[in-house]
Chains A and B, each alone.
Chain A
Amino acid sequence: MAHLFQVGVGSGGIVVLDALARDRRITRITLVEPDVYAAHNVDRHLFPESAVGRMKADLAVEWIKERRGDVSVEALIADITDPALMPRFTDLANECDIGVCAVDNEAAKFAFDSLMRSAGKPWTLGEVLSGGIGGWVHRFTPDGPCYGCVASHLQRNVAEEQAVPPPDYANPDAAIAATRIPANKASIGAIANLHAAVTLELLEKSESASEPGFTSLLLTLARVPGVFDDAFRTYRFRIARSEACLICSALPASVAGEDLDVALDQALARLGHE
């Protein structure tokens, strides 16, 4: 019996979810997804064209219930970075057995990493590269590197091929355009199914407490001069936790709660009049 906590049910996330929900060990699923199913999603998604305009989270719940009526499913139409919902997300991270991150924005990945690391739970992350030329699957365990360690080590270039409008510097709180990776459904499906396989393997490992063999797995799907010499090759990376990582290594837990606020107020008062 395992509780899956998944953020993101886009074109990749729904494939991961579909594969995981069919595993009988998964008995409870909690989804977090804020987006509406849009017309441009149809070519790459499992949901039908007739569902355009509905919430992806609701559609994902229906998808699961039609296939696994015995699974308990809950969907939150929410953004995983929303500070107002952090207590709820923290509870979910503490309650779950394994996490899946299938989002393509950095803030959400760091937010999920923070939640799962604080809860001491294993989780996985899938990333499809621009143009569908390949993708990454990362696996995170409580004692291993954080997402910051991995991203900093790999130094990936994840620039999108499609131009995204530049941020409006006159209005930094304005909505930011969604990142769209122009990959085809086959490429997304290949990486997403690999993501699901790694997640199931990690679930099994966490049950038997075995040592994971890698932190990051790269699968190439196309030969790209200067980037990938061959299509359909895998590369395994074992990335160590960085002692110097500012995301996971420098956050003492000695001060907490209201004391943290007091310490912060004192620091701001000290530095505010420099």
Chain B
Amino acid sequence: MGLLDTEFGKRRLLSVEVPAIEKYNEGRDAEFKIALNRVGGTLVLNYQLKPCHNAYRLETRLLSSYPTVPPETRVLTPLRHCPHLLEGQTMCLWRQGSTRAASRWDPAKFTCIFAIQAAWRWLACYELWHDTGEWPLPEAK
């Protein structure tokens, strides 16, 4: 199910993802809007989040296998090494196959905006961890 090269993928983008991004951008300050760009067979969302004190630049990649495979989000702003941070500053947000209660990605219910909300929550956890040394949410199981 190629996101950009199958009818299913294109319809998903046009009827689900693009309207969700446009709604997210509506009324938002320019620097916090999502920019959507095609990079090969991948769609990349570039945006900025400010969960608490600091603003962070991020990119969320919708791979060719999206939405079956969850989006991948990485923080472009340099971070301290911390829990739940994978190689390339990729956020560990969910594990496919785990239960909904423990961060399972559900392509029937979630859009790419859910990934951005999850990234916001992750960054809020990061700032708390930075101050307290404790990650305030449990591991995805």
Given A246-B67, A247-B107, residue A155 in contact with residue B15 (CB < 8 A): no
Complex contact A274–B11 (CB within 8 A): no
B108 is an interface residue with CB less than 8 A from chain A = yes
Instruction: Select which of B18, B67, B68, B72 is within 8 A of A271 by beta carbon.
Output: B18
Q: CB < 8 Å: which of B4, B38, B108 contacts A247?
A: B108
Partner of A152, one of B34, B63, B108: B108
Q: How far is A253 from B18 in the complex, measured between Cα atoms in Å?
A: 16
Chain B CB within 8 A of A256 CB: yes
A245 sits at the interface (CB 8 A): yes
CB B33 to nearest CB in A, in angstroms, measures: 4
Contact A172 B61 (CB under 8 A): yes
**B111, A246: Cβ atoms under 8 Å?**
yes
CA distance A83 to B64 in the complex (A): 10
B86 CB → nearest A CB, Å: 5
Given A170-B87, A263-B14, A149 contacting B36 (CB threshold 8 A): no
Count B interface residues, CB 8 Å: 52
The stretch among A95-103, A104-112, A132-140, A201-209 that forms the contact with chain B is A104-112
- In the bound complex, CA of A244 to CA of B7 (Å): 20
Alpha-carbon distance A272/B34, docked complex (angstroms): 9
Q: Which of B79-116 contact A (CB under 8 A)?
A: 86-88, 90, 95-100, 104, 106-111
Q: Check: B76 CB closer than 8 A to any chain A CB.
A: no
A246 contacts B109, CB within 8 Å?
A: yes
- The answer for the CA separation of A149 and B109 in the assembled complex, in Å, is 9
Known contacts A86-B6, A110-B1, A245 near B99 by CB under 8 Å: no
A172 to chain B, nearest CB (A): 6
A235 to chain B, nearest CB (A): 18
Q: Tell whether A274 pairs with B12 under 8 Å between CB atoms, given A172-B72, A260-B7.
A: no
Q: Find out whether the CB atom of A83 lies under 8 angstroms from the CB atom of B67.
A: no
Per-residue CB contact flags for chain A residues 165-192 toward chain B (1 = under 8 Å, else 0) read: 0001110100000000000000000000
Contact of B1 among A114, A151, A252 (CB under 8 A): A114
Question: Which A residues are CB-close (under 8 A) to B86?
Answer: 169
Q: A264 interface residue, CB < 8 Å from B?
A: yes
Cα A152 to Cα B67 in complex, Å, equals 13
Q: Of A242, A244, A252, A268, which contacts B36 at CB under 8 A?
A: A268
B109 and A251 form a contact (CB under 8 A): no
CB-CB under 8 A from A81, the residues of chain B are 1, 65
Contact between chains at A148 and B108 (CB < 8 Å) = yes
Binding site for B on A (CB under 8 A): 81, 83, 86, 106-107, 110-111, 114, 118, 146, 148-149, 151-152, 155, 157-160, 168-170, 172, 242, 244-247, 250-253, 255-256, 260-261, 263-264, 267-268, 270-274
Q: Can you give 19 contacting A-B residue pairs, CB < 8 Å? A: A81-B65, A83-B1, A86-B6, A106-B68, A107-B69, A111-B1, A111-B68, A151-B106, A157-B99, A159-B98, A246-B12, A260-B10, A267-B36, A271-B25, A272-B36, A274-B25, A274-B34, A274-B35, A274-B36
Known pairs A168-B87, A170-B88, A263-B14; list 10 more (Cβ under 8 Å).
A83-B5, A106-B96, A107-B65, A151-B106, A152-B109, A155-B99, A159-B98, A250-B15, A267-B14, A268-B36
Interchain residue pairs A-B with the least CB separation, the first 10: A148-B108, A83-B2, A152-B108, A271-B36, A274-B33, A251-B11, A274-B35, A107-B68, A83-B5, A169-B90
